[in-house]
Structure 1
Amino acid sequence: MAIESAAAVATPSYWRQQIRAGKWRQHTSGLAEGYVQCNIVILPQRYAFDFLRYCQRNPKACPLIAVAEPGDYRLAALAADLDIRTDVPSYRLFRNGTLERELTDLLALWQDDWVTFAIGCSFSFEQALIAAGLEIRNISEGKNVPMYVTNRSTAAAGAFSGPLVVSMRPMTPADAIRAIQICSRFPAVHGAPLHFGDPSQLGISDLAQPDYGDAVTIKAGEVPLFWACGVTPQQAIMRAQPDICITHTPGHMLITDLLNQHMAAF
């Protein structure tokens, strides 16, 4: 099966194998329909407790799906055949809070005291919105979702603090109301939007210039909806300046075997 024809039908295991083999390095929006995707943060154990508290204090931006034991790269709770060292299309390596480079695997870097955090991703609720007949512009345009650093602060924990990051999807007002209703069922993957309308209230000056991801078309009569985003920890990591940290590249998620429907609270 060609990769291009598999986007809507291939299993999570298929995509992890393609990523592990270096055959897919693009963003994962729209892949493995019906399955949970996760943001990833990997830290040495000495930072793990403070980062865990940071996630607990900021559940909209950092909804925890799983936390691994130190050195565990299998994360069996997420998938039977998963290897966190190879199964993300693109990783970011931070040293002392500075982005050093992007990586395609962690095999040469992996350390036995590293703790992996899997954080809920908005790509999960996108499937619920599509199932309800709503257009998701970043998917229909084949782009990575636009993400913006805001003027809102997150709750600090130890050295971890920083601004909230949001993702944006434009919709008509009627669709926006429906999206709020649908997403309120999924608190484990960011839940309902935290703002819609005027982006300047979030400190966003130009929607055409996202801090991460790609700009999307906003049509006449549409309003932008903003959800808390799992890229928020990357801002906290830059402030905390741990000597080493690994994250996913924004939009390049870990695809799990968990079903989106099981994330629903009601």
Structure 2
Amino acid sequence: MQPPHCRFFAQGRCNAGDACRFSHVLAPTLSSGASTTVVLNDPRPPKLPEIIGPLFSVDVECVATGVQHHDRSLAQIGLVDADGSPVLNLYIKPERPVVSYLHPLTGLSAELIAQQGIELNDALARLRATLPRDAILVGQNILKDVEWLGLKEGVDFACAIDLAALFRVWTSENRYAYFSQDHTAAVWLRGTPFARAPGAFHDALADAATSMALFHCFCRARTDLAKLAQLQQATLSAPRLASFAMQNPVFEGVCQGHRRTCTCGGPFFS
């Protein structure tokens, strides 16, 4: 049975990620031998705020500082501008001992952090000094990154646009389908450097650039409903790879927080 849909994920503010016991990614199902299809009469079509400030995308990567799925510490901050050009790429010395750098997922290593890492407070100060207060932040589940960074809307930035909400699709099953950044980029940005190869690690700066490329691609497509529907159908139909947490319930002794395979006994917050 399909678990209930996560209303917090739909708003871009689910704290549990892959550990959530409610549904985030809704795979297409089969009905009368046909795949689920796009329905254009979305009951709540995504709305973009008026773009009156500079666009930026920010992304973070974390390392494991314990064996439970919520034992994580910031280790990289990536910031790009509206053109996808790098603005900041900061590596951070974790404040607690690292149990695993989760290298296949993050691309981080002890050597990289030792060579380029700075103190967390210094990194956050540099980010706030660089980010204009009228900035509009774009990203996949961007409010989670904002939470990690301790940024405040209306103080450190103007507003945020969640790509998970922009790229969701209202289907003939009368429900939304949601997609990971990797899956969306594989369809919408196919043939470009932003379409990550399967199994490639996540780099915060590269992920931020991909988010910005996806945002611009969506803005272009939304002016042509036929093209938008074509891309949405392709996004629904394309096969989806299992997440790192699904493929690796435990990595280097660290629980990856998939609710169905969790063994660490750590709490879930949704």
TM-score (norm 1): 0.26
Higher helix share: 2
Higher strand share: 1
Bigger Rg over Cα: 2
Relative contact order: is structure 1 or structure 2 higher (C-alpha 8 Å, sep ≥ 6)?
1
TM-score (norm 2): 0.26
